[in-house]
Amino acid sequence: MRAKTSSRFWAYLIDIILIGILLTFSSKVLVDNEKIILLNQELNELSEKILDNGIQHDENISDYATLVKKIDLENVMFNVVTIIVILIYFVFIPYYNDGQTAGSYFMKTRVVATNGKKLTITKLMLRNFILNGLAYLTTCLTFLYLFSDMTYFILVSFLSFIQLGLVIASIFMILYRRDKRGLQDILSETKVVKIIGSEL
């Protein structure tokens, strides 16, 4: 039986809260928060200068791009851990736990392959490319070491818009498609189903 949209929402919310708690503790160890705060202050001051046209336009963009990259470099280890956590929690746990995370367990839902066969690691990876930004995070991390400040800033800004657009499109698909499948479901050939009493 197809899972209700509300069940999917609450299951995902439970998962995100659990992941959020874990990553919050991780950030205290992996990130130099004082340095991040200082860099963000610089970024805010520069944003104000941009709004006030206090310095030349080209210099604004160049300095902004440099600060964005510096902040992202400070967050490298945290982003690596985030990717690992996503892989463990949303890929390997469902793979070994019959398509369920903690959230889906509590909401009595599970992810299954549309062809009726056992879920594969590949299908679960594809789901998370969009659903949890796995492709976005790994691509940004790679770009960080491949491109100059300005090129990195432009590419990451572009990727951010694409990721946001994909998430919004997926939400609307889940809300309004008859089969309640989002982009991540279609891409990975999976669906979320409700567990009926006899399966519990």
pLDDT in tens, the chain (200 residues): 777 888 899 999 999 999 999 998 888 888 777 888 888 888 787 777 767 665 555 667 788 889 999 999 999 999 999 999 999 999 999 999 999 999 999 999 999 999 989 999 999 999 999 888 999 999 999 999 999 999 999 999 999 999 999 999 999 998 898 888 999 999 999 999 998 864 54
Are 16 and 101 a contacting pair, CB within 8 Å?
no
**CA neighbor of 132 nearest in space, from 172, 184, 191:** 184
Residue 54 CA to residue 89 CA, distance in Å, equals 47
Are 27 and 36 a contacting pair, CB within 8 Å?
no
pLDDT score at 40: 81
DSSP3 helix / strand / coil % (the chain, rounded to 5): 75, 5, 20
In angstroms and rounded to an integer, the radius of gyration of the C-alpha atoms of the chain is 20
Name residue 6's amino acid: S
Q: Is this prediction's pTM over 0.75?
A: yes
Containing H/E element for 58?
helix 57-74
